[in-house]
Amino acid sequence: MNLLEKINFEGELLKIKRESSDIPGVSEIVEGYLSSYMDHNPVTVAKSFMESTKNVAYDPNIKEIRESIVNTYQENTFIYELKSVKYDIESMRSPFYKSIITQIDKILENENNDEVKTAIKQDLAIHSYIPQIRGLVEYANKYDKELNSTADHYAKTVYSPVHETAKGNTIFNSLGVNFSISEGNQLVEAPIVQDKLYNDLVEAVNTFEFFDTKIQYYTKDKKVLLSENEEGTLKLEVDGNEVAIDENLRRNLLTSRVFDANSLRQLDLLQRVIENYSNIVRLDNVKQLHMRNFQNKKLNVLTLENSFAIHKMDTETRTNQIDVFETANEAISDVKAFIGYDLSESLRDHLKVEQSQLESLKEKRSNIIEKIEFLKEEKSKLTSDETIAESEAIKKANELIEGELTAHTNELEKITSKISKISEKKIDFTDQGFIEGIIKKNPPSSLKDISKGDDIWIFAEDYTTSGAKDDIIIKLNNGKELRVKKELVAPTS
């Protein structure tokens, strides 16, 4: 049933025609939709009707149908949007899309909006070369604000049994690897768990498809669905027909040929899941990423309390390593380098926080550099007069300045390190004779490409051989070269 059928669109239009036709413009609107709505995409018609009637929404009948459209659409947004995409693709009348339409029909057999949304992200993203599908996948991804599937990658929510060790550590499994979180909130690979139930449930997670409240499995010709209602009661269905969960379950599934001699292990696992359903949990801080065309590469992304752990696997190179990063920016760069996936969208909230921190750190860095330069000037003044340079008072003053310089220099190094972790990775120009630096003062208005606090590269030879008022060469992070006064810049390394 499409969106318009669900709300009895034609019946509601006829009611408006009978009762509200005295409102200027309403008759024309109603007649227009009555004569043509069946020839167009139902979701497009509904959205068009909402736009056409916004100026007459005060009428009770029109208000009623508008509310009905909104409520019905919001309850099953992704089901209706997928039906809309199917309508548009079928309208193309191309045999090329026949298999895609079949795949969409298979997804739409599921009446759970969240599970349809998951299938859109995981199963349809590979067809993002079709504009309608690409738009729907992007919408589903933004709606969830989590790791998103693309044409080249697919993301998976992680479900796992949880094992408590004698020492109180919690162990979970993802991508076939056992993990635990150490006391320092660090991800570590855990040893093999000598617990048959835990290992059976891990196998079950890798055998069946898990959703929030449902588990799905396809035998040769049947669909097995295990679901949990709000009261926590389990329900088992085979091709939509309920099967009693009792002492005769195993025999009934075998005699009805849902499982046979070749699938006894899957039946064992299904029974294990039914008996221990609450032992399997959704790990909201863990997500898997897979490459569609290179199945050898995959990874886990874990959001920890103050860091991000990336577990990378490559069966060809036998890579199996965990890297922990303090910042989202570092994690994004690492994942992009390994698998070509951009985590930015899913970590955008973390990036906003880091951007705010970056601005504060750059301001601190500018202030420290000013202090360092001031101290260097003061030291130079103290030592410029040789007649008093060796006096005890001057030596003591020098020691104090040296101590301050050392403290500020150490602080500068720490802040610069933090900035480099938060900032986007820069092109390295050190092999061209440049050193890292910043714009320490507000530049003249003629220099529109730079502003105070910007990271730059300074040509080292110019900087060491020129006076404060001389021009030197700098490079921006995009590679563009400028000539600026030396007094505008300062090295940070």
Burial class (CB in 10 A: 0-12, 13-18, 19+), 379: middle
Residue 327 pLDDT > 70, yes or no?
yes
From start to end of 175-213, where are the E strands?
177-181, 187-189, 209-210
Average pLDDT, the chain: 87
| pLDDT > 90 in the chain, percent | 34
Provide the token pair at 449: 């490409």
Q: State residue 145's pLDDT score.
A: 55
Distances (CA, A) of 239 to 89, 219, 226: 28, 11, 11
Residue 56: strand, helix, or coil: helix
Q: What is the bridge-based pairing of β-strands 187-189 and 170-174?
A: unpaired
State what percent of residues in the chain have pLDDT above 70.
97
Say if pTM beats, i.e. exceeds, 0.75: no
Let me know: does 207 contact 266? Beta carbons within 8 Å.
yes
pLDDT band at 388 (very low <50, low <70, confident <90, very high): low
Bridge-partner residues for 156, per DSSP? 288
Q: How far apart are CA 391 and CA 383, in angstroms?
A: 10
Contact residues for 325 (Cβ-Cβ < 8 A; gap 6+): 307, 308, 309, 310, 331, 334, 421
Which of 74-83, 116-125, 262-271 shows the lowest mean pLDDT across its residues?
Answer: 116-125
Specify the 3-state DSSP secondary structure of 321.
strand
Whole-number pLDDT of residue 306: 81
Q: At residue 267, does pLDDT exceed 60? A: yes
What ranges in 256-306 are assigned the alpha helix state H?
Answer: 264-275
Name which residue leads in pLDDT, 243 or 420.
243
Give 15's pLDDT tier (boundaries 50, 70, 90): very high
Residue 418: the pLDDT is 83
The confidence score (pLDDT) of residue 146 equals: 59
Among 66-70, 283-287, 294-298, 393-397, name the one with the lowest average pLDDT.
393-397
Q: What pLDDT does 425 receive?
A: 62
Question: How far apart (Å, rounded) are the C-alpha atoms in residues 269 and 202?
Answer: 10
Instruction: Write out 445-462 in H/E/C secondary structure.
Output: CCCCCCCCCCEEEEEHHH
Ranges 283-287, 382-386, 410-414, 472-476: which has the least confidence: 382-386
User: 491 pLDDT exceeds 60?
Assistant: yes
Q: pLDDT digit string (tens) for 20-59?
A: 888 888 988 999 999 988 889 999 999 899 888 988 888 8
Please tell me whether residue 456 adopts helix, strand or coil conformation: strand
Is residue 271 scored above 90 in pLDDT? yes
Alpha-carbon 4 to chain mean position? 34
Band (pLDDT 50/70/90 cuts) for residue 380 is: confident
* Integer angstrom CA distances of residue 466 from 375, 463, 470, 473, 493: 20, 6, 6, 11, 18
Question: Could you tell me the strand order of the sheet in which 170-174 lies?
Answer: 163-164, 170-174, 177-181, 187-189
d(CA 157, CA 130): 25
Nearest to 101 by CA among 114, 88, 115, 112: 88
Structure tokens at 38: 């069946």
For residue 389, what pLDDT is reported? 64
Task: State residue 196's pLDDT score.
Answer: 95
Q: How confident is the model at residue 387 (pLDDT cuts 50, 70, 90)?
A: low
pLDDT in tens, 111-156: 888 889 888 887 888 788 788 998 898 888 776 655 667 778 888 8
